[in-house]
Amino acid sequence: TKKHRVAVIGSGNWGTTIAKVIAENTKANPDLFEETVQMWVFEEEVQIPESSEHFDRGSALCTKPQKLTHIINSIHENVKYLPGVPLPSNIVGNPSLEETVKEASILIFNLPHQFIEKACDQLQGKILPFARGISCIKGIEVSDKGIELFSEWIGRKLGIYCGALSGANIATEVALEKWSETTVAYDPPSMDSSQPSPQGSPKTSQINLGEMSGRAEDSSKKVKMMALPAEYPPLSHENVKKIFHRPYFHVRMVDDVAGVSLGGALKNIVAVAAGFVDGLGWGDNAKAAVMRVGLLEEVKFGKMFFEKSVKTATFTEESCGVADMITSCSGGRNFRCAKMSVEKGMSINEVEKQELNGQKLQGTSTAYEVNGFLKSQGLEDEFPLFTAVYNILEGNKKPEDIPKLLEAPSKYR
Ligand code: NAD
Ligand code: 13P
């Protein structure tokens, strides 16, 4: 029998944290997984900062900037995107996407969403055809054809099944092993757990990847997917959970991929709004009001555009919904940068550049993408908070206008 090889595509703040979680689990479950976890690193030259405990004036590694993969593989720390957190030595930073995914049966996608398209272009034809994916990306794909979940978009692009992981998970807290919960949605067609295919004839199945809103027809969403060969351990909920579950990182498994993906994406817009009102010094009540409306708009968006698959309970009962809303509006990067932009009178993009050392905000781009889609559907007024954030980012409205903007009546409530 074979073991699963897990590869992580991405090595930012969350990408590196999830690689750490997984590498601990591959080591703890040798019956299921190969121990080594390849992690794709978008290569860059990085100087180990003098504040790092690894800084040593006499060491060649510290005298000039080095390749980030070399640093990660030498001192087992991602000094740029997850400084101060020791990484398990079974994580291998790899600058080649193709080598990272070689023979990997489980692919974990964890990149800022603006970079996923290029990565998937490079991955086409390079992955095992029966691989399974999990997207940890908090964002949605918007094109002139409509709006799509990244899990489904990745699945369609690569011809594989892709689930989703999302939760109230500020990366640094998870990396420091402070307890949190997360939600993993994994619901492949039943052939995975059924009979193995006859020798020499890979079992395939045509699956429909849910709905894409704003599209006239769904035919491009049919994916021909190959069954997992019988020599691999089955990817049941129990085994998928073992990829991520740690004593400090509690996984709840669900089937609602759309709800999990949308919660993670849309709360980033709400966190920007929470940052705006906090930046005005309006206090916790104002922030709570923004969160309340934000949660309602998440549910409404899911029900309106992904009605066949989304469950309201995913937003109201799971970590990926209400809990992620709360944590992101308390200490997330979108919240912090939006708050600082109001306090300092700077644009949020300037704050991002100045404060995040290369990390990327997702809330601003998601606000634009969601607005472009809502506009195309004539539904901007139905989502006053999402629309307000877009208009404030565009300079059409001010953070002070938020209470008035949220009063707008709705036709569909
Ligand atoms: P990040 O914000 O740390 O982004 C930086 C990453 O982008 C680095 O790995 C960098 O190498 C890479 N990058 C820069 N330019 C690139 C390019 N041209 N091509 C490819 N990669 C490039 O990233 P992150 O925090 O790991 O975020 C990944 C996803 O995880 C996002 O969708 C985010 O919303 C989600 N998420 C983040 C957190 C968190 O607390 N950081 C928590 C949960 C989920
Ligand atoms: P930020 O990207 O705003 O930091 O949000 C982190 C997150 O998703 C916490 O669950």
How many helices (H) and strands (E) would you count in the chain?
17, 14
Check: pTM over 0.90? Answer yes or no.
yes
Answer yes or no: is the C-beta of 319 below 6 A from any ligand 1 atom.
no
List C-alpha distances in Å: 64 to 78, 130, 194, 351, 356: 16, 43, 55, 27, 22
Answer yes or no: is the C-beta of 138 below 6 A from any ligand 1 atom.
yes
Which residues, listed in sequence order, are joined to residue 38 by a DSSP beta bridge?
Answer: 7, 92
> What is the mean pLDDT of each successive set of 10 residues along the chain, which is 413 residues long?
97 98 98 98 95 88 95 97 98 98 98 95 97 96 85 95 97 98 92 48 50 45 79 97 98 97 98 98 98 97 93 97 98 98 98 97 96 95 97 98 87 54
Distance from the alpha carbon of residue 168 to the mean position of ligand 2, in angstroms: 8
pLDDT recorded at residue 190: 73
Answer yes or no: is the C-beta of 364 below 6 A from any ligand 1 atom.
no
Answer yes or no: is the C-beta of 113 below 6 A from any ligand 1 atom.
yes
Active site residue 267: yes
What is the DSSP code (8-state) at residue 113?
G
DSSP 275-321: HHHHHTT-HHHHHHHHHHHHHHHHHHHHHHHSTTT--HHHHHHSIII
Write the burial class of residue 13 (CB in 10 Å: 0-12 exposed, 13-18 middle, 19+ buried).
Answer: buried
Which residue of 42, 44, 153, 355 sits with most ligand 1 atoms within 8 Å of its CB, as the best mutation to test the pocket? 42
How far apart CA 363 and CA 361 sit, in angstroms, is 6
Q: What is the b/e burial string over 176-194, where b = at least 16 CB atoms within 10 angstroms of the residue's CB?
A: eeeebbbbbbbbbeebbee
The one-letter amino acid code at 322 reads: V
Distance from the alpha carbon of residue 329 to the mean position of ligand 2, in angstroms: 9
Answer yes or no: is the C-beta of 352 below 6 A from any ligand 2 atom.
no
Q: What is the largest CA-CA distance in the chain?
A: 68
Task: Give the ligand 1 atom nearest the CA of 268.
Answer: 34
Distance from the alpha carbon of residue 254 to the mean position of ligand 1, in angstroms: 24
Catalytic residue among 157, 221, 267, 300: 267
